[in-house]
Amino acid sequence: MYKERREKVFDFLPMNSIAMFLSGNAPYQVGDEKYPFDVNRSFYYLTGIDRENLVLMLIKTKNNNQTILFIEPFDPVMAKWVGGKIQAHEATEISGISDVRFIDNLDSTINRLLHSTNEQAWTLCGELSKQELKQPWPLADMFNEYKQQYPDVMIKNIFADMARLRMVKSKEEIDNMKKAIAVTNAGIKAMMQASRDYIWENELEAYFDFVLKSEQCKHAFYTICASGKNATVLHYGENNCQSKPGDLVLVDLGAAYGYYNADISRTFPISGKFTARQREVYELVLRANKMVMEKARPGVTLRELNNYVIEFYEKELPSIGLLQDGDTVRDYYFHGVSHHLGLETHDVSILDYPLQAGNVITDEPGLYIEAEDIGIRIEDDIMITEDGCINLSSEIMKEIDEIESFMQNGK
């Protein structure tokens, strides 16, 4: 699988090019303690290896394509303290790359290539996203150094090419996402069963955490567990307030399985039963959620999906007493309805990209009425098909009667 993915990268690389992917490293937090390591997703996508300080190099010339993986030397002393570095045979077994060299040889390998006589200048290829260009980045710094040494060398940003490749999910990727969604479902059910008046948000969050650890999953992102007015804050993350009787709880969370993420939002009443007003607002958000699934298909853009939601709210919000006194939809719904999902929660994407079969996106309309302490978001993960979409998270309950029955009767 990883070899097939690397072959697709070779297809879009220019002739006489060197493409490099760094696995990344964890910076030090304080003293000798590091932040948790989080592998560069494109490196992982092309190798399946989840280790620090590795470099994947793809070399394309008119004579052949060459793949090299650079690893750190094994240190038996450090292995006793923090664990051993990956060894060559292990890296080959996981990635299918037979040419494995030590990282100390990286610079000399590149210099030897750039010094060689070719019919055309070399091109250094790497991912340079907008986010990475805003901060110091090892690969960009490395490319600039080689550019100074070899003025004829060109630099090509292959971020969009990699995005197009990663945005279309394979069966293996979908299976991992389905597993992450199933575990997320179990976690949400545990939270709903534990809900009661005056429970603390972080106490409720702990039930979700337990399910993930029990299923050998990680968090896709920091959990949002927001009760009452807190649910009107889009990225509320403190999770440290005590709920009140009658509160709605908005959870935005997800499990990650094999680095593939679920991203689900559900809203439920802490006491197990919606009030008439909560039900009224919830049903409107649910209709918007279902409307997006009807509209999602190949050729449609995420911007168009969001515009459909805004148009829907413009028509329907007056029926629940909103859009009065000059208010607009953006006073109650101020985010987008969708983003791509995969190895990253907000996965790589291209602005105004027409959807195609194999894309996985979120469907997450919401309404936030701060004056009434009501925040509601309903988010599903959907896969685009040849003629529409499939709801990958259809098993996660979201109908009002189903939610109330489960919370009151446990089924």
What CATH number should be reported for the domain holding residue 174? 3.90.230.10
CATH number of the structural domain spanning residue 57: 3.40.350.10
347 & 236 share domain: yes
In Å, the largest CA–CA distance within the chain is 77
Altogether, the residues listed in the chain come to a count of 411
286 & 211 share domain: yes
174 & 161 share domain: no
CA–CA gap between residue 95 and residue 131 (Å, rounded)? 28
pLDDT of residue 110: 94
Work out whether strand 65-71 and strand 389-391 pair parallel, antiparallel, or are unpaired. Answer: unpaired
Burial of 337 (0-12, 13-18, 19+ CB in 10 A): buried
199 & 232 share domain: yes
CA neighbor of 289 nearest in space, from 380, 356, 394: 380
CA neighbor of 118 nearest in space, from 155, 152, 158: 152
178 & 161 share domain: no
CA neighbor of 369 nearest in space, from 333, 316, 402, 342: 333
Q: Which residue has the tokens 């394509």?
A: 65
* Contacting residues for 45 by C-beta, under 8 A, at least 6 apart: 5, 166, 343
Tens of pLDDT along the chain (411 residues) come to 999 999 999 999 999 999 999 998 888 887 778 788 899 999 999 999 999 999 999 999 988 999 999 999 877 766 667 667 889 999 999 999 999 999 999 999 999 999 886 667 899 999 976 555 444 557 888 888 898 999 999 999 999 999 999 999 999 999 999 999 999 999 999 999 999 999 999 999 999 999 999 999 999 999 999 999 999 999 999 999 999 999 999 999 999 999 999 999 999 999 999 999 999 999 999 999 999 999 999 999 999 999 999 999 999 999 999 998 889 999 999 999 999 999 999 999 999 999 999 999 999 999 999 999 999 999 999 999 999 999 999 999 999 999 999 998 876
- Backbone phi, psi, residue 155, to 5°: -120, 130
Q: CA dist 307 to 131, 140, 267, 294, 364, Å?
A: 26, 37, 23, 14, 13
362 & 317 share domain: yes
CA–CA gap between residue 195 and residue 276 (Å, rounded)? 20
pLDDT of residue 76: 76
Total number of domains in the chain:
2
pTM of the model: 0.94
Q: Which of 166, 182, 201 is the endpoint of a domain?
A: 166
280 & 375 share domain: yes
HSE of 206 in the Cβ direction (CA atoms, 13 Å)?
7
85 & 215 share domain: no
pLDDT of residue 116: 81
CA–CA gap between residue 114 and residue 133 (Å, rounded)? 25
388 & 252 share domain: yes
266 & 396 share domain: yes
pLDDT of residue 129: 61
177 & 162 share domain: no
Q: Which of 142, 166, 190 is the endpoint of a domain?
A: 166
End-to-end CA distance of the chain: 41
| Residue range(s) defining the domain that contains residue 112 | 2-166
Coil vs helix vs strand at 59: strand
Which run of H or of E encompasses 18? strand 17-22
Spell out the alpha helix ranges (H) of 201-334.
Answer: 201-214, 276-295, 302-316
CA neighbor of 148 nearest in space, from 124, 118, 112: 124
Q: Which of 140, 166, 192 is the endpoint of a domain?
A: 166
Contact in structure between 256 and 262 (CB atoms under 8 Å): yes
pLDDT of residue 98: 97
48 & 159 share domain: yes
